Amino acid sequence: MRVIVVGAGVLGTMHAWQAVRRGHEVVHLEREEQARGASVRNFGLVWVGGRADGPELEAALRARELWEEIGDRVPALGFRAGGSLTAVTTEAELAVARAAAERPDAARRGYHLLDADQVRELNPALRGSALLGGLWCERDAAVEPRTAQRALQEALREDAAGRYAFLGGREVRDVLAPRPGAAAAAVRDDRGEVHEGDAVVLCTGAWLGGLVRELVPEVPVRRVRLQMMQTAPLDEKLTTSVADADSFRYYPAYGGPALDALTAGQPQPPVAAEHRMQLLMVQRADGSLTIGDTHEYATPFAFDVDEDPYRHLTQVAERLLGRRLPPVRRRWAGVYAQCTDPGRVVLREPVPGRPGTWLVTGPGGRGMTCSPAIAERTADELGW
């Protein structure tokens, strides 16, 4: 087959990877020279532990296997299987961690309840005096988000024997209707060039206007804005990714009486509540720390960033580390697309009136985690 993939974020790139690995030819189009959206503005977390029961957890577990396999083939991804530690500092937070570790599927998720000494043994950089313990999610992992897509594309160019072509700076303006004697599916880019194939997959991320709106006017997907930052290198190693206990409030696996008691008796600080915040902290390959994040749902989004969340994140991170953070080098905002149907991991639908064309978007904050499994499922469903 000849597959046209539109969008070079992690979701589009994983669809290209699946098609090439199954022996097909791929033309890969991206409106920027390289992806600049949420796929490069995230933590690079492969975040299994907190996923909802059912399709979401199954996708995350399968994606975790695929990330490790792909990481072995493409070392430049920087795949690291260190797991994550959710640090707890109050008895109410510890109760939520304990309830998670007692779930029937705790072993499958990789949950281990640790006391404070065990936390410091696993991750010596966490020297905060307030630590009571932590929930270690052994199955969690990380990759390098700023370079992952390009590393995968380079591997495809090297391994695909001429069956992979990446065309950056090409915005798709039209998906052509069926024509007698023409290929099954085709797109026209903003240079007027037509790219024909047997299938078209639109992985447009948070780009939901323009062509996407013309093709699928009512898309059950919303846009979510976040703020993050990155420090200078830390002079010691974080052996795991790190979260604070506010993350329990935002991941479905932690729901239950213990979480209800936490939310009722221990409200978030006003800044964290206003910006729907949790601390996530991941060390990059160069030693720097990626720290976030916030969640904003009401559009239109601001064009600038708010300093209050950054101050809060700095205070929480320094409390867990027991030391000052390195200087902040970068701050940014990003927008991702989230399917509004909680029962779906992603929106995957055929485009009306365009046989052979599918729209795949809206994984939300699960995009980096689940994209390999999402792409594998697309390939299976489309008979690649």
β-pair type (133-137, 111-115)? antiparallel
Pick the closest to residue 242 from 350, 84, 103 (CA basis): 84
Contact (Cβ atoms closer than 8 angstroms) between residue 39 and residue 177:
no
Helix (H, G, I), strand (E, B) or coil at 118: helix
Task: Give the model's pLDDT for residue 177.
Answer: 87
Tens place of pLDDT per residue across the chain (384 aa):
999 999 999 999 999 999 999 999 999 999 999 999 999 999 999 999 999 999 999 999 999 999 999 999 999 999 999 999 999 999 999 999 999 999 999 999 999 999 999 999 999 999 999 999 999 999 999 999 999 999 999 999 998 889 999 999 999 999 998 877 767 899 999 999 999 999 999 999 999 999 999 999 989 999 999 999 999 999 999 999 999 999 999 999 999 999 999 999 999 999 999 999 999 999 999 999 999 999 999 999 999 999 999 999 999 999 999 999 999 999 999 999 999 998 899 999 999 999 999 999 999 999 999 999 999 999 999 999
Given CA atoms 23, 381, 140, 46 in this order, what sign does their dihedral have? positive
Helix (H, G, I), strand (E, B) or coil at 173: strand
Task: Give the model's pLDDT for residue 90.
Answer: 97
**Model confidence, pTM:** 0.96
Domains and CATH numbers, the chain: 2-45+146-220+342-381 (3.50.50.60), 84-138+221-339 (3.30.9.10)
Task: Give the model's pLDDT for residue 227.
Answer: 98
* Amino acid at the residue 313: L
Task: Give the model's pLDDT for residue 178.
Answer: 81
Pick the closest to residue 60 from 78, 84, 76, 41 (CA basis): 84
Contact (Cβ atoms closer than 8 angstroms) between residue 41 and residue 332:
yes
Phi and psi at residue 112, in whole multiples of 5°?
-140, 125
DSSP 14: H
Task: Give the model's pLDDT for residue 248.
Answer: 97
